[in-house]
Structure 1
Amino acid sequence: MDDKHHQNSIGGREACLCDRTLEKDIQRHMRFTMGRDPAKPNRHACFMGLAYSVRDRLMDRWFHTQRSQYDTLAKRVYFLSLEFLPGRFLMNYLISLKMVDEARRTVEKMGFDLDELEEEEWDAGLGNGGLGRLASCYMDSLACLDFPGYGYGIRYDYGIFHQTMENGWQREQCDNWARKGTPWEIRRGEFLIPVRFYGHTETRTDANGRQYYRWVDGEVVMAMACDILVPGYGDGFVTNMRLWRAQSSREFNLDEFNQGDYIGAVEAKVLSENISGVLYPSDEMEQGRELRLKQQYFFVAATLADIMRRFKKLNRNFSELPDFVAIQLNDTHPAIAIPELMRLLMDGEGMAWDDAWPVCEKTFAYTNHTILPEALETWPVDLIRRLLPRHMEIIFEINRRFLNEVRTRQPSDSSLPGRVSLITDSGQQRVRMSHLAIVGSHTVNGVAELHSKIIREDLFRDFDTVFPGRLANVTNGITPRRWLAQANPLLARLINETIGPEWITDLDRLRELEPLADDAAFRRRWMETKRDNKKRLARYVLRKIGLGIDPDTLFSVQVKRIHEYKRQLLNVLHVITRFHRIKAAPGLPVVPRTTIFAGKAAPAYHQAKLIIRLVNAVAEKINNDPDIQGKLRVLFLPNYCVSQAEKIIPAADLSEQISTAGMEASGTGNMKMSLNGALTIGTLDGANVEIMEEVGRENIFIFGLTAGQVTTLRNGGYHPGTYYDGDAELKQALDSISRGDFSPEDPHLFAPVVDSLLHQGDYYMLLADYRDYLTAQESVDNAFQDKEEWARKSILNTARMGKFSSDRSVREYADRIWELKPLPAVELGEESLG
């Protein structure tokens, strides 16, 4: 069976709509929604017609789900995230509706190929990487498990930038993801929420001496709701993400326009609407920093207004809010929601502080995603005071009361209040948003066992003392619908034929594959599927960058955000050493490899961009060396995104998860590749630890310092020069970079890369782990030569990944943090099925 028909076995039953009805719906939307003649359709018109027809079916289910939530007075979770990275929607929706076969047959009758139609859709790049993709996985699981809840974020006009390569350098272009329009979002133009900035607060005192506050004047921006549907798998449950788009509170100034000031006439409107313009504007300048904070408050204020609107329909006392509302803060970006809820309860609803604060604490929970100091947000007090004057007053009061409580609880530790304070004392006063999120939440969780241990014992150790039991763990997960059923339909078909499709909603069922790891016939089919996926990726690579790669080589894959702690540079050093070994003994047999890099560097992160340039320079030299042909291939795929990941991950033989131990909170790329049968080479960092525990130490390649050893070595005095002087191959690799072997036109181009290792402390300890990494790579080569044993290990990796389903993660959140129950099965009326 070829790729075109690979999804036929995914899902069980067909949707109730017959082919003819779907075809008519597509033609109707072409004619009446798009104004196109259905007798002369082009590919984009057919895609849009199909998309609108699919959305029609989702809308009926969404209406029924909403009614069910209101009828049962269910508690709801509101997942606040500045990033969502959903990728393409069409195939995800078709799989959820079990309509893949029907859609494929219908569009083929119309002269089109479903896989080609899917390429018409542009990724919704509304996130930067793992954080946004995780948020989308959790939305999928909420819907699949019938939990009442919504995702809230920003509907950016321009998502994460489109990455191109120019002479090996990353270049950023605007990601106008909706430039052709998007059929998926439902704009609520009649549903606008005012969001205030700047201005000042006014106080008044009543007859009993109680003070009341009012935030007045300043600038008002309107938030317009844009809904994107999120279906469960194979049932009637459909929830939604609600993304906010900024609208000016007024149109352009007519007086200025009439006087000829055309720019000034629309300037206020344009500046207001910039808030939802672009994901993560650069914060190198003051204006960019202010815009980032505006974004955070904009979506938080609109979201809490929406939550309060829903709650008020219940006619309950606000002291009962936590019984009906759970708010999850996905990282610190939405932490300003804590003073915002206090403002709404006190200034809007007249609650006293002592009544409002317990409501606030019981409503919020906070997920920490990083231990990197630069990623723990702080904001200047002066900026918050100017932009959000009432919130700064509330934050000061939260801090005053909290520190008084700390002094009472821990009177013997005089420095503790300064360590846990929400406000820094040294230099320019800044608000520590992670501290605000911890103090204002009832539960704070890390995202892997190791990460949670680090935040309890190191990063937030003082808070673990002040709030015993508040710091918890929920290990991240990924949705099997997207990352196996959709991304790897060939493997999904093989699994379905072997054990049935129940694993799609119960990933633990993959354990039924374990006995088959010892079945030679099944191993052969497994590796044939892997090779087909590698051939598919090879065709993609040839089309994208014009480079041919051999599917019979070992595909070593490192695809993730480019950052020094993720150590793409360590991978490059291994590639260079491998290159030198082949050059020194070209006649010796080697295990042929294709090393694949992909990922984006933040536009202002110059060292990360230089690492991308080095990868491309090394690739150019190696790929053009006749001694290396057929032995080593290196490539960097530009513009890594969800849809590209869906092509790369199923083809990976080796998953490179090589961050410095103790630096990666969890990782989810490691889970995706292992689920798709790749073997991991990695440090004991993030979720790698738990993956090793699940798949077995013998089925993973672990190397390098542990998190504890990293800390000990760093504190005891780490001297990278010792490793350089004592390892001839390491010295050869670094010297070849230094003298310009890979940049003869500019020999000093990569000097900052080498300097960071030899003369600036090698903070991420690449040199300390280099030799152990090479030894682990030699073990990979040896294992790959035994095809039967490699296949066995690959099968066991997939079979033992049940723990890493986002369904398990969301159940843990629901049980232990949100106290949330699934809705009863949503009954669909006949009108929604046909």
Structure 2
Amino acid sequence: MDETASPTEHEHTRTGLSVDALHRALLDNLFYVVGRFPAVATQQDYYRALAFTVRDRLLHRWLRTVQTYKAERSRTVCYLSAEYLPGPQLGHNLLALGISDNAGEAVRRAGLELEDLIEAEAEPGLGNGGLGRLAACYLDSLATLQLPAIGYGLRYEYGIFRQRIDEGWQVEVADSWLRDGNPWELRRPHIAFEIRLGGHTERYLDAHGHSRVRWVGGELIRGVAYDTPIPGYGVYNSNLLRLWAAEATESFDFGSFNAGDYQGAMRRKIRSETVSRVLYPNDEPETGKRLRLLQGYLLVSCSLQDMLRIHLGSGDSLDRFHQRFVVQLNDTHPAIAVAELMRLLLDEHGMRWDPAWELTRRTFAYTNHTLLPEALEKWPLPLFEETLPRHLEIIFDINQCFLDEVRIRFPHDDALATRLSLIDETGPRYVRMAHLACVGSFSINGVARLHTGLLTDTVLRDFHALWPERFNNKTNGVSPRRFSNLSNPGLCALLSRVAGPGWAADAERLRLLEPYAHQPEIYPEWRRIKLERKRALARYIAAQTGVAVDPESMFDVQVKRIHEYKRQHLNVLHIIALYSRIKMDPALDPVPRTFVFGGKAAPGYAMAKLIIKLIHSVGEVVNRDPAVRDRLRVVFVPDFNVKVAQRIYPAADLSEQISLAGKEASGTGNMKFALNGALTIGTLDGANVEIREEVGPENFFLFGLTSAEVDALKRSGYCPYGCYRENPLLREAIDLLAEGLFSHGDRDLFRPLVDHLLHRDDYMLLADFQSYVDCQDRVDRAFRDADSWTRMSMLNVARMGRFSSDRVVQEYCRDIWRLEPVTIRP
């Protein structure tokens, strides 16, 4: 750049949004930042250059936002989450800045296509599924609504594994998403905090004669901040995602090196950095449990120390901390934050117990995301004592004070105290993290109306009886920017035409589409948009799996984590039954269907992995059978992630949301499908209940037991074998599976699954089977009437505004966080 350029010209070069400014910045960044020139630059080089170009513009907005928040002492929500699944950033950030078209033209001037550069981006897989994707949606909405927020998480060097399929089996491959670097982040070496692991505690008297505790010994690890700006859509605000990476306090032991112990010289560095190396693993082995506990502690300790740094650095007194920050615990993973804030206030800042506890419980709010007991974290007492001895002491003290309160209110109910205790004493002793979160939070919420009701009736019933005023519901939502604007540009253009361009930031405007659902002249355009997305997905499926699918067929889709309660195998039983019916009656003429599956199984979850094998094995038989292959196709799309999801959701005709009623907390895939015009077949589980109410029962395919009926059937003595014995179609499907039709005659391959269904069936597939098959027959009849199906599809989209993440963030803000919007001026 010309050194005589004026400040105005310099600012324009780094922040200008015109095609000329973006093209010039792209070439400058390619040369000066990436270190390449056009003749030798690869597509990845150009992607990085464009990412740095966009980041320059984001940083300008982010720094203005930080300055304004600091000057106005804005109350800030800090979202603590062990998982974030932000998805690829380039397309999203261009959309937020409103420069997608200009960037596309700037890239074309360089002889490239924007879509190719967007595709070149590696996805940060910093989460396992819905929990992390929800956190990312909320950060997007917080910035769009101009609400001060910081998202805190961990910078896993290796995210969720990449899924490869080998002869139908899932194979996990390390996800080295940082291999080519991450142009969106800024390393902040000066924002780093030490955490202690292990060691022991000592009591002493301070200068005022008060008894204090110091935590000494053990091992120190440093958490270093990596910052990523999160822009709001159509506003100047840009919030912050701050991720912590573990580093050794001393990277190299020179004494060991001089003594000839070369490996020992690096041992501490390797051991320390392991803490944030991999997205938290299966926690069955003791080593896995310990690592997961260390990761949770690294996250909360660094984040709380950072909040205290910001707060005290602004000149505020410590006793006003809860007025400046509200901390949302995203599930139980960060629940140790309750004990850690107490430790920091007591041991590092010299507060007395009562004011410290009052401040702590006025700081935290807790979101519960599960009704499954195995998902509510519990840590063995010996592991906790060995790793975090000071925190265990604090938890014991919290528990004593809490149970004293319980006994005063309920003096003759020892069983209640046992159930409420933070320590599970019914067998081997455990720390109950959900209990710690409840006791240390001023608000406790579920994530769908049904889920919250079941939460207060079952898992957290005693806490609800104690503090009913703390409980509230916040039904989940998803970002329309990611899952409509980016994923489905054709639909987005139509919606902007009929609802106005502002619908993406005000999803209730989608209601303006509703009158058009009764105007058949728009139906061909609606179907054309859907068919374009189906053709694109068909090309992707062929490239990834080698299976050719017909875009004109019904795309019947189930993509989500593979888990028995989500009941992918119920879907497969229906496919087997349909296959059997066609074989037995060649005159049967169902609507041609392509059954699309996708999702990852936890590496240690054998039954989930067997379900993936089952899907492939059934597909292998069905897809090669000339009697059905023009009518049925079964495909499994590997390595389901946000990038793949953006291809699948817009292409779906039918959304499978078939978990056993009472097991899914909310679900968000159900919302993404409906937002893109897919019709739902589902149970009354999670947010399905509210989606059905919004879109209308006549536009939703309902089947299955209710949660109350599930409980009643279990209490009366559920007999799955009786369902098998009494239902010929079910019996035929299971017998075909058991006899080896889908396993090359191997009767043992699927025996664990068959035996479990016949003799346990914890998730009641067999009880719901006939209802599901009957409902699928209704789907078949409905799809034959193209105009009726199109009308139902349009009404689903028109009535999905309530499920925008903007709505739920506004509810959190109104009822829990008490934040005020802060408008950032350019």
TM surpasses 0.5: yes
Distance in 2, Cα, partners of 1:129 & 1:826: 32
**More displaced stretch, 672-681 vs 539-548:** 539-548
Q: Which residue of 1 aligns with 2:695?
A: 695
**More displaced stretch, 749-758 vs 404-413:** 404-413
CA apart distance, 1:267? 1.3
CA apart distance, 1:39? 4.4
* 2:231–2:239 CA contact under 8 A, matched in 1: yes
Secondary structure at 1:295's aligned position in 2?
helix
CA apart distance, 1:249? 0.6
1:463-542 equivalence runs, <5 A:
463-542=463-542
Q: Which residue of 2 aligns with 1:600?
A: 600
Q: Which residue of 1 aligns with 2:720?
A: 720
Q: Which residue of 2 aligns with 1:767?
A: 766
Q: Which residue of 2 aligns with 1:657?
A: 657
- The two structures have a TM-score, normalised by structure 1, of 0.96
1:753-764 equivalence runs, <5 A:
753-759=753-759, 761-764=760-763
Distance in 2, Cα, partners of 1:410 & 1:478: 42
CA apart distance, 1:585? 1.7
CA apart distance, 1:260? 3.3
Distance in 1, Cα, partners of 2:102 & 2:453: 49
**Where does structure 1 differ by over 3 angstroms across 4 or more consecutive aligned residues?**
206-209
Distance in 2, Cα, partners of 1:412 & 1:285: 40
CA apart distance, 1:484? 0.6
CA apart distance, 1:86? 0.6
Q: Which residue of 2 aligns with 1:643?
A: 643
Distance in 2, Cα, partners of 1:247 & 1:814: 35
CA apart distance, 1:796? 0.2
Structure 2, gaps ≥5 residues long: 1-14
Q: Which residue of 1 aligns with 2:29?
A: 29
Letter paired with 1:489: P
1:169-248 equivalence runs, <5 A:
169-206=169-206, 209-248=209-248
CA apart distance, 1:493? 1.0
Q: Which residue of 2 aligns with 1:154?
A: 154
Structure-2 change in CA distance of 1:235 and 1:27 (3 Å): same
1:553-572 equivalence runs, <5 A:
553-572=553-572
Q: Which residue of 2 aligns with 1:778?
A: 777
Secondary structure at 2:424's aligned position in 1?
coil
CA apart distance, 1:42? 2.3
* 2:17–2:99 CA contact under 8 A, matched in 1: no
Q: Which residue of 2 aligns with 1:817?
A: 816
CA apart distance, 1:255? 2.8
Identity, in percent, stands at 50
Q: Which residue of 2 aligns with 1:6?
A: none
Measured on the aligned residues, the alpha-carbon RMSD in Å equals 1.1
* 2:138–2:809 CA contact under 8 A, matched in 1: yes
Q: CA offsets, 1:721-767, max 9 Å, x none?
A: 111011001001111111111002532100000011112x1110000
Distance in 1, Cα, partners of 2:547 & 2:394: 58
CA apart distance, 1:384? 1.2
Q: CA offsets, 1:442-493, max 9 Å, x none?
A: 0000000000000111211111111121111000000111011111111101
Q: Which residue of 2 aligns with 1:255?
A: 255
> Is 2:802 the partner of 1:803?
yes
Q: Which residue of 2 aligns with 1:826?
A: 824
CA apart distance, 1:16? 5.3
Secondary structure at 1:161's aligned position in 2?
strand
Secondary structure at 1:366's aligned position in 2?
strand
CA apart distance, 1:207? 7.2
**More displaced stretch, 415-424 vs 189-198:** 189-198
CA apart distance, 1:234? 1.5
1:295-314 equivalence runs, <5 A:
295-314=295-314
CA apart distance, 1:369? 0.1
Distance in 2, Cα, partners of 1:330 & 1:808: 18
Letter paired with 1:217: G
* 2:601–2:609 CA contact under 8 A, matched in 1: yes
Distance in 2, Cα, partners of 1:746 & 1:181: 46
CA apart distance, 1:206? 4.5
Letter paired with 1:826: I
CA apart distance, 1:600? 0.2
CA apart distance, 1:252? 2.0
Distance in 2, Cα, partners of 1:239 & 1:39: 37
Distance in 2, Cα, partners of 1:745 & 1:736: 10
Letter paired with 1:772: S
Letter paired with 1:273: E
CA apart distance, 1:259? 3.6
Distance in 1, Cα, partners of 2:528 & 2:521: 11
1:370-769 equivalence runs, <5 A:
370-744=370-744, 746-759=746-759, 761-769=760-768
Structure 1, gaps ≥5 residues long: 1-14, 829-834
Q: Which residue of 2 aligns with 1:788?
A: 787
Distance in 2, Cα, partners of 1:147 & 1:242: 16
Distance in 2, Cα, partners of 1:78 & 1:381: 29
CA apart distance, 1:499? 2.4
CA apart distance, 1:281? 2.1
Letter paired with 1:57: R
CA apart distance, 1:426? 2.2
CA apart distance, 1:262? 2.2
Distance in 2, Cα, partners of 1:691 & 1:756: 32
* 2:199–2:215 CA contact under 8 A, matched in 1: yes
Distance in 1, Cα, partners of 2:16 & 2:533: 32
* 2:448–2:665 CA contact under 8 A, matched in 1: yes
Q: CA offsets, 1:93-136, max 9 Å, x none?
A: 00000111001111111111111111110111000000000000
Q: Which residue of 2 aligns with 1:281?
A: 281
Letter paired with 1:817: I
Secondary structure at 1:415's aligned position in 2?
helix
Distance in 2, Cα, partners of 1:277 & 1:226: 14
* 2:739–2:745 CA contact under 8 A, matched in 1: no
Secondary structure at 1:202's aligned position in 2?
strand
CA apart distance, 1:23? 1.1
Distance in 2, Cα, partners of 1:188 & 1:668: 33
* 2:146–2:235 CA contact under 8 A, matched in 1: no
Distance in 1, Cα, partners of 2:260 & 2:625: 64
Distance in 2, Cα, partners of 1:28 & 1:58: 17
Secondary structure at 1:77's aligned position in 2?
strand
Q: CA offsets, 1:164-201, max 9 Å, x none?
A: 00110000000001111111111112322111111111
* 2:581–2:588 CA contact under 8 A, matched in 1: no
CA apart distance, 1:718? 0.3
* 2:198–2:388 CA contact under 8 A, matched in 1: yes
Letter paired with 2:155: R
Distance in 2, Cα, partners of 1:209 & 1:239: 44
Distance in 2, Cα, partners of 1:665 & 1:422: 23
Q: Which residue of 2 aligns with 1:5?
A: none
Q: Which residue of 1 aligns with 2:328?
A: 328
Distance in 1, Cα, partners of 2:206 & 2:696: 68
CA apart distance, 1:52? 0.3
Letter paired with 2:373: P
Distance in 1, Cα, partners of 2:426 & 2:218: 30
Distance in 1, Cα, partners of 2:174 & 2:586: 45
CA apart distance, 1:74? 0.7
Letter paired with 1:771: Q
CA apart distance, 1:34? 1.2
* 2:739–2:746 CA contact under 8 A, matched in 1: no
* 2:222–2:246 CA contact under 8 A, matched in 1: yes
Letter paired with 1:200: H
Letter paired with 2:752: P
CA apart distance, 1:346? 1.1
Distance in 2, Cα, partners of 1:56 & 1:361: 39
- The two structures have a TM-score, normalised by structure 2, of 0.97
Q: When the two structures are aligned, how many residues end up with a matched partner?
A: 812
Structure-2 change in CA distance of 1:207 and 1:254 (3 Å): closer
Structure-2 change in CA distance of 1:201 and 1:74 (3 Å): same
Distance in 1, Cα, partners of 2:280 & 2:349: 34
Distance in 2, Cα, partners of 1:157 & 1:433: 26
Distance in 1, Cα, partners of 2:433 & 2:191: 30
